[in-house]
Amino acid sequence: MRLRVLVTTLVVALVVGVASAQVSLGNERIVSGDYAGAVEAFETAVETNDRSAYAWLLLARSRTYLADTLPSSEADTRQALYESALEAAETAVALDPNEADAHMEVARAAGRNAQFQGVLNSINLAGTVKDALDRTLELEPDHGPALHALGLFHHEVPWIAGGRSRQVVPSFEAAIAAEPQRITHRVELAKILIAREETDAAREQLTAAVGIEPQSAADTADLEEAETLLASLP
C-alpha cells in the first residue's frame, strides 16, 4: 500500500514538474515574441496537467497574441485562434472562478474576436467582454490590462451595447496609475487623444512612453509606435 502511494505521489510530482517547465518555457517565449512557440509550450502544459487554470489562461493569452500577429490573408486561422483562445480562457475560469487573469483572458479573446469581426457583426460579444472585465476588476481593482481593455471597450462599443465615451480616458488613466511602466497603456490612450484632436495631451503620454525601458518584444513594438506617433505630431 505504501509503495502504491509512493508511486502515485512520484507520478503526480513528475506531471506537475513537466507542466511547470512548459509554462516557464511558454512565458519566456511570450517575452521574446515567439507566440507560436508559446502556444506549443502551453498546449503541452495543459495536455500534461489539464487541471491547471494558470496553464489554460496562458494558452488563451498566447493564442490571442499569435492571432494578432497574423496577416489579414490568414483570416480563417485568426478566427479559429480567437475562438480557441476564448474556449481555453473559459476552461481556466471554470477551474478557478476566482482567478482574475482567467476572466481577463475571456475578455481579451472575446474582445479581439469582436474587433476582428467588426462591431456590427459582434454586438453579441460585447456583453461577454464587459462581464469578464467587471469580474476581473471585482477580483483585482488595480488590474492594469483590464482597465486598459475597459477603456478600449468604452471607446469602440456603441452606447446601445454598453460603451460610454466619458469612461475612456479615466479607464486608461487608471491603467497607467496601476502599471506606470507599461508602454502600451500610454500609446493606446495617445492614439485616442489624437483622434479627439487633443494633441498636447497625446504628446504628454507619448513623451512619457518613449522614456520607458521595454521589457519584452511587445514593449519594443509599442515603443517604436510611440516614437513614430510622437514624431508625427504637429
- CA gap 172, 156 in Å, rounded: 14
Give residue 3's pLDDT.
43
Residue with more model confidence, 119 or 36 = 36
Whole-number average pLDDT of the chain: 91
Mean pLDDT to the nearest integer, 176-203:
98
Tell whether domain 10-179 is in CATH 1.25.40.10. yes
CB 186 within 8 Å of CB 208: yes
- CA gap 202, 112 in Å, rounded: 24
Q: Alpha-carbon torsion 201, 222, 228, 70, what sign? A: negative
Helix axes 183-195, 144-156, angle to 10 degrees: 20
pLDDT at 34 over 90: yes
Residues contacting residue 33 through CB under 8 Å, at least 6 positions apart: 216, 217, 218
Residues contacting residue 205 through CB under 8 Å, at least 6 positions apart: 186, 187, 189, 190, 193
Give residue 117's pLDDT.
77
Give residue 6's pLDDT.
37
pLDDT bin (cut points 50, 70, 90) of residue 38 is: very high
Give residue 158's pLDDT.
86
Grid cell of 56 as nine digits? 489554460
Boundaries of every domain in the chain: 10-179
Write the single-letter amino acid at 228.
Answer: T
Encode pLDDT of 72-101 as tens digits. 899 999 999 999 999 999 999 999 999 999
Mean pLDDT to the nearest integer, 95-123:
87
Mean pLDDT to the nearest integer, 196-221:
97
Nearest to 139 by CA among 179, 185, 93: 93
- CA gap 79, 8 in Å, rounded: 41
Give residue 10's pLDDT.
35
Which of 1-15, 22-36, 109-123 shows the lowest per-residue confidence on average (mean pLDDT)? 1-15
